[in-house]
Structure formats: C-alpha cells, structure tokens
Structure 1
Amino acid sequence: MSAVPAGIETPEVLIDRDILERNIDRMATAVRAKGIDLRPHVKTHKMPEIASRQLAAGAVGLTVATIGEAEVFVQHGARDVFIAYPLWVTPHHARRLAELGSLARVAVGTDSVEAAQAMGAALSDATDRIEVLVEIDSGHHRSGVSPSHAVEVAESAAAAGLRVSGVFTFPGHSYAPGMPVKAAEQEHFALEEAASLLRSAGFDISRISGGSTPTAALAVQSSANEVRPGVYVFGDAQQLELGRCTLDEIALTIAATVVSRHQGAGSTPRRCVLDAGSKIIGSDRPAWASGFGRLMDYPEARISALSEHHATVIWPDGSELPALGARLRVIPNHVCLTMNLVDEATVVSGDAVIARWRVDARGKNN
C-alpha cells in the first residue's frame, strides 16, 4: 500500500493484509526454529480473523488479558486460551471461567496466596476445569512474584484444589532502547529458577511461558517452552524505534488528512495538523520515544503533540510541507491502544480495499 486508497474517510485504521500475513509467517517460522511453542497475545488485534491466521500458521493456542477476551475467541472457535493475568476471581468470574473451561482448555495466572485461595473458593467444584500458572517477576517489576516465592503461591493454589501446570512472566522492560537482550536473559534465569524450585517441590511443570515482541525471536538462551508476543502482527512506532521491525513490516497505519498547515518562523515551528488525535492514535509515549507516532512516508517527521482530534506534526526542514487535504498514514506508538479505540478496520491489499474486519474483543476489559 503506497497511498491511502480512494474512498477512505479519515481518520481510519488500515490493515495491509499482505504485510500482516508475512509478519505472522515470519514469527511462526522464527519460533518454530527455536523448538518452542507460539501462543500469540491477541489483545493486540482483538480480531478473530487474525487469530485464525495465527493458529493456521502453527500457534498452539492464544493468549488474552481478560475473561471477556477469552469468551470472544472461544466463541469464534479457539480451543486453547491462556488468560495471562493475575486474576482476582469473584463468583461472577468463576461462573464465566467454568463455562469457558467446559468449551476449551483454559489457563489463568496468579501471583499471590490470597488470590489463589480466592480463586479456588470461587470455582468450587469447577477447579478441575482450569489450569493455573504462577506469574514470575523477571525484572519488569509489575505483577509477579520472585522465583523464590513461587512454591508458596503454587502450594496455596494446590491446597485450594487448583491444578498448577506452569510459570509465566512478561519481560515488559524489553520495551526500551538497549534492553531486549538483557530482558531476555533475565527472563531465562527467572523462569528457570522458578520451574526448578516448583519441580523440586513436587509440581509437574509442563508450561514455561515468556516472551514479548522485542524478545520472542532473539537468538538467546531461553528456558521458556512457549512465547507470547503480540505486537509483531502489526508493528508500531515503538518497535520501529527499538529496531525490532522495519517500515516494510508495518501492517497497520491510520489514514489521516492534513487540516491545517503552517510554514512557521522564528520560534514558531513548521508544522501541519492531522485529523487523527488521541481518540484513534492512542496517547502512549514512553520517555525515550521521539514523538507520539511516526508518518509512514515521512520518517523524519514527528508527532509532537496530540489532542483528542488533532495530531501536531513537526515537519523537517528541506521537505515540502504537505498541502491542505493531503492524506497521510500515521504509525501509532502503541498499536494495542489503537485497536481498542475502533469498532472495525479497513483491510487493504496493494491499493485496493478488500474487507472490513470487526474488532470483536474491543472493550472486553473484564
């Protein structure tokens, strides 16, 4: 896709099907070559059409963030899902998990004695329908316990009637310059230690789950036997700046129109304004990122500010400022946010619109 297809009203999310499918195949091949399983995180796209392509390419199952996302993908045929989140299970959650467990293989996360006890009590006689993986902190310092506390959590889960089948971690600190290799190494040692301690305590640990888009395909030692990357299907401006994807691997952009332009003078910046703001691009900007997004065909331009319906783009000297009405393609910083802001996306091949796909798991936050 070299331009915004005719007939598109902006702002609009565009998915290049051909690049998407190449990205899916590339990750599947890379993970297969490492001899481990791929369980992609579908919170990135929230689309059954894409999940079906990932499964057809060899994924062993899907990863989701919420019970609601699991329900959507199981309803669309998924038969193996992992809710990679330390759930606090209420009676309502328990009824939904029990129903899911009657339809598919379902695993959930936990990272505390109290949460494991609450889960077991809420599930009651349905505990045999759910597997539990203990979440390990491998350096991101979000949720998860240190490897040395994994046995305590697992023993509480087992005492509550739950079946502990593995450990998992999210090396989220890999999303920073110079960090992917270090994060992957920390993940390896944390998962290895936790799994070893649990096996010594008598647990049958069959799943050791890790990985993120920056680390999943790295040629480094790994104790994980499955990885859960998500963003790789689309790529985004963060992955571009981290060097984990290239422009020709960006499958999702946002079509936007220039609605204001200013040549600038003195301290007034040379800029244009697009009709795509935070309500479609998303407002995520890590401290190290050079802007709130990038432009597909103008890599030196930077989105310096976002309002709800405006994107201010600082335009590089030496490059002609686009005309009013020009249609540009924005690469969002964090594509997962974009997909939770729209009900559907336009699918293209070359310069032709070929489909519209619904974001079926949008807003499934619980």
Structure 2
Amino acid sequence: MEWYKIDNIDHIDSPALAVYPSRIANNISLVKEMAGGVEKLRPHVKTTKTAEVCQMMLQEGISKFKCATIAEAEMLGTIQAPDVLLAYQPVGPKARRFVALIKAYPSTRFSCLIDHVESALQLDYICRAHHIQLDVFIDINVGMNRTGLKPAHISPLLDVLESCTTLQLKGIHAYDGHIHDKEFAQRKLAADNCYLLAKKAQDTIVQRLGHPILMVIGGTPTFPIHLLREEVECSPGTFAFWDWGYQHLLKELHFQYAAVLISRVISLIDKNHVCVDLGHKSVAAENPLPRVHFLNVPTAQPVAQSEEHLVLQISEHTLSIGDILYGIPVHICPTVALYDVAHVVVDQNKTQEWAIVARKRIINI
C-alpha cells in the first residue's frame, strides 16, 4: 500500500489535513545532519503551527526557534522552548501583548526584530514600565524589500539603542525569501550577495559595540548555503512537512512529504471531469492553478476552483462518488493555517489529532 493511504479513512471527514510523524521525524533528522548538529538551527514554526511537532524538535536537541506571530510565540512558550525569536516588529497592541507573553512564560527567552527608531523607543518605554529586559535583533533588508534597514542606514537606530535602558542588541536578522532560483548555482550567487550585505551591517555594529553579535539568515531555499558560514543561525521551516513547490524547485534537498490533504469526489460532471471538496478555503490559494497535486490520481488537472469546490479534468476517469484523493499542496505553510486539527497517521491508521493551535491570532495573550 502507498505510504500516504489511510485504512480507517472513513473516520476522517474531508477536506482534511493528515500528518505522518515518522516522516516528520525523518525530516528533522535530515536537517540536523545537514547542519552538523543543532547549533546553527533556528527552525521557523510558521509552517507547522503545531506544538507536537515543535516538541519533536525539542526532543532532538533543537532549542532555538523563530516565529512570526504572538500566537506562534505563545505556543512555543507553552512547551517551554528555551529561545524564541519573534521575526516581526511588534507595534501597537502587539508590543503590549509581547511584553505580557514574556512575563507569562519566564522559562522561555523571547526576542524580537526592530528596524525603526520609533519602534525601539516604544518597546523601551513598555519594557521599562514592566521592569523587563528584552533582546532585539536589527532587521536588515537584503532584497526582500518588505521590512528591514539597508546596511548604510543603521547608525541612527544604533544611536537610539545605546540610550535605551531595557533593550539589548543581540544580533541581526536577514531574510532572503525573495530568492527562488531553480538552478543551485544561481541561488548560491544570490544568497552569497545577500550574506555580504548582512555581513556589512554586522561588521558595522561589531565595530561600534566592540563585541560579536549573532546573524540569523536564510529560509528553506538558502539555508544549506548559509550553513557553511561561521557564526550564523538558519531558519528553515517548510522542511518539517515539505510541499510540492519546494520538492520540484529545490531538487538537491531530499526531505519527504509529511503532510497530505484528504479530499473526496462529490460530483461526477462528465466522463472527463469531476468535482472534489477542496476549495480556496482548504488549500493555499495565492498561487495559480494547480495549487495541489494528487498522489493517487497524478493525471488530474485542476481547471476551476471556488470556495468549497475544485473541478478536475481527468481523461476517461473511473472515479466514483466518495472516492478519496490524497493531495500535496504547492505551498504547505498557509495551507496548514486553514485547518483546526491535523489527523495523525501511524502505520496507515489515524490514531489521534493534533491541534493547529497557532493558526489562531490569539491563544491566551
């Protein structure tokens, strides 16, 4: 039987997300092997949003994590993850929530990004009011062009940080998520250029402070390149579950699919078309069709999708109403966030459910 098929599938309503712990464990082992241990790893939890998967990483010795939301940070706090970087600049109510989170989970050392003088002053004010010290990382723009400072523009922020009594500059953060070259040589060249920009900022800060600081750099496409550098931490996220997009873009990586979408045929349109229950609300919809590829019906071609429906073209199909289709999304990260639970599959049977707890914007704080 194919690895993804579930014997007691009748106990799972569709659409649904299924995860396979043995394959997740293999992916964690592989990323550790690639990194030569855990010291350079700071996995991003935006993909899994699941405490149980993060606990699997903790059990393998991974102690540093990255996240993007207060809920993801709180999920990590609930399992007492030692070191959590909020890769986001908290402003307004989010800054107050972040300080409340720090006080609520003292076993976890939290840090966050900053890229603006005003943000630094606001965080310092809130931290002073609550009598806490906060580690911060300066966000460096290395080409993503959504947040961060260009290396030449960091001096005013350094000036302000020197006057802040509660903020401790821990390092810099450089995310190169704009790099998606299929050819490894081109990807490496782009990653090397991003690293040189980040290194320029790091050197400027070190010269000013007189002591070393950390560099957190790279996502899934570039982390194997950055792992070869000294004194960096890398933040792959997709590796835990993997997806169709990276499987076919990053051919030099050998992670396994560990999360599958469950769908059923709900209508037989004609001899060449069927409709399944996998609409926009069930699979990440930011990419053009196809957004999902079916393992057990590889010739199925998505031709139309709406909120709860996906029309597939399959020449001379033999499918029946209620037949199961097992799909791999092109982009797993936002797909996971569409589900309340993941159905856990062990030995080809659903055994339990894991809450996708950090799909929420608020857990407790």
User: What's the TM-score, normalizing by structure 1?
Assistant: 0.87
Q: Measure the CA separation in 1 of the matches of 2:179 and 2:289.
A: 17
Choose the corresponding residue for 1:197, options 196, 204, 219: 204
Please list every run of 5 or more consecutive structure 2 residues that lacks an aligned counterpart in the other structure.
none
Question: Are 2:239 and 1:240 aligned?
Answer: no
Identify if the C-alpha distance between structure 1 residues 273 and 183 changes in structure 2 by more than 3 Å, giving closer, same or farther. Answer: farther
Partner of 2:236: 229
Question: What secondary structure, in the 3-state scheme, does the structure 1 residue paired with 2:88 have?
Answer: strand
Question: Are 2:66 and 1:63 aligned?
Answer: yes
Question: Are 2:159 and 1:155 aligned?
Answer: yes
- Once the two structures are superposed, what CA deviation does each residue of 1:188-209 show, in whole Å capped at 9, x if it has no partner? 1122111111111125443100
Alpha-carbon deviation of 1:175? 3.8
Partner of 2:142: 138
Question: Are 2:185 and 1:188 aligned?
Answer: no
Choose the corresponding residue for 1:278, options 263, 277, 280: 280
Q: Does the CA-based 8 Å contact 2:70-2:98 persist in structure 1?
A: no
Q: Does the CA-based 8 Å contact 2:43-2:234 persist in structure 1?
A: yes
Q: Does the CA-based 8 Å contact 1:71-1:100 persist in structure 2?
A: no
Q: Does the CA-based 8 Å contact 1:212-1:230 persist in structure 2?
A: yes
Identify if the C-alpha distance between structure 1 residues 300 and 204 changes in structure 2 by more than 3 Å, giving closer, same or farther. Answer: farther
Identify if the C-alpha distance between structure 1 residues 205 and 306 changes in structure 2 by more than 3 Å, giving closer, same or farther. Answer: farther
Alignment of structure 1 residues 94-105 onto 2, 5 Å: 95-100=99-104, 102-105=106-109
Partner of 1:267: none
Q: Does the CA-based 8 Å contact 1:165-1:204 persist in structure 2?
A: no
Question: Are 2:207 and 1:210 aligned?
Answer: no
Identify if the C-alpha distance between structure 1 residues 246 and 217 changes in structure 2 by more than 3 Å, giving closer, same or farther. Answer: closer
Question: Are 2:38 and 1:31 aligned?
Answer: no
The residue type equivalent to 2:169 in the other structure is: V
Q: Measure the CA separation in 1 of the matches of 2:131 and 2:215.
A: 21
Choose the corresponding residue for 2:345, options 325, 344, 348: 348
Partner of 1:309: 308
Alpha-carbon deviation of 1:180? 3.6
Partner of 1:338: 335
Q: Does the CA-based 8 Å contact 1:184-1:220 persist in structure 2?
A: no
Identify if the C-alpha distance between structure 1 residues 107 and 301 changes in structure 2 by more than 3 Å, giving closer, same or farther. Answer: same
The residue type equivalent to 1:323 in the other structure is: S
Alpha-carbon deviation of 1:58? 2.8
Q: Does the CA-based 8 Å contact 1:292-1:305 persist in structure 2?
A: no
Count of aligned positions? 355
- Once the two structures are superposed, what CA deviation does each residue of 1:165-212 show, in whole Å capped at 9, x if it has no partner? 100111111245446434422331122111111111125443100121
Q: Measure the CA separation in 2 of the matches of 1:344 and 1:2.
A: 18
Q: Which deviates more from structure 2 when the two are superposed, residues 193-202 or residues 295-304?
A: 295-304
Q: Measure the CA separation in 2 of the matches of 1:56 and 1:250.
A: 21
Question: Are 2:323 and 1:326 aligned?
Answer: yes
The residue type equivalent to 2:281 in the other structure is: K
The residue type equivalent to 2:350 in the other structure is: V
The residue type equivalent to 1:194 in the other structure is: A
Q: Does the CA-based 8 Å contact 2:227-2:234 persist in structure 1?
A: no
- Once the two structures are superposed, what CA deviation does each residue of 1:14-42 show, in whole Å capped at 9, x if it has no partner? 00111111111111111126x85111111
Please list every run of 5 or more consecutive structure 1 residues that lacks an aligned counterpart in the other structure.
265-269
Q: Does the CA-based 8 Å contact 1:4-1:329 persist in structure 2?
A: no
Q: Measure the CA separation in 2 of the matches of 1:149 and 1:9.
A: 53
Partner of 2:177: 172
Q: Does the CA-based 8 Å contact 1:165-1:205 persist in structure 2?
A: no
Partner of 1:46: 49
Q: Measure the CA separation in 2 of the matches of 1:56 and 1:22.
A: 13
Q: Measure the CA separation in 1 of the matches of 2:273 and 2:254.
A: 23
Question: What secondary structure, in the 3-state scheme, does the structure 1 residue paired with 2:293 have?
Answer: strand
Q: Measure the CA separation in 2 of the matches of 1:185 and 1:259.
A: 49
Q: Measure the CA separation in 1 of the matches of 2:28 and 2:308.
A: 32
Partner of 2:265: 258
Q: Does the CA-based 8 Å contact 1:262-1:272 persist in structure 2?
A: yes
Q: Measure the CA separation in 2 of the matches of 1:143 and 1:296.
A: 38
Question: Are 2:248 and 1:249 aligned?
Answer: no
- Once the two structures are superposed, what CA deviation does each residue of 1:264-291 show, in whole Å capped at 9, x if it has no partner? 6xxxxx4322112121212121xxx662
- Once the two structures are superposed, what CA deviation does each residue of 1:194-244 show, in whole Å capped at 9, x if it has no partner? 111111112544310012111212477546610111111001122123135
Choose the corresponding residue for 2:91, options 88, 99, 116: 88
- Once the two structures are superposed, what CA deviation does each residue of 1:293-342 show, in whole Å capped at 9, x if it has no partner? 21123444333432111122233x5x745333210112122212122222
Alpha-carbon deviation of 1:125? 5.0
Question: What secondary structure, in the 3-state scheme, does the structure 2 residue paired with 1:132 have?
Answer: strand
Q: Measure the CA separation in 1 of the matches of 2:174 and 2:139.
A: 6
Q: Measure the CA separation in 2 of the matches of 1:20 and 1:54.
A: 10
Q: Measure the CA separation in 2 of the matches of 1:348 and 1:280.
A: 19
The residue type equivalent to 2:293 in the other structure is: R
Identify if the C-alpha distance between structure 1 residues 89 and 182 changes in structure 2 by more than 3 Å, giving closer, same or farther. Answer: farther
Q: Does the CA-based 8 Å contact 1:16-1:251 persist in structure 2?
A: yes
Q: Measure the CA separation in 2 of the matches of 1:303 and 1:246.
A: 27
Q: Does the CA-based 8 Å contact 1:61-1:81 persist in structure 2?
A: yes
The residue type equivalent to 1:313 in the other structure is: L
Q: Measure the CA separation in 2 of the matches of 1:99 and 1:125.
A: 12
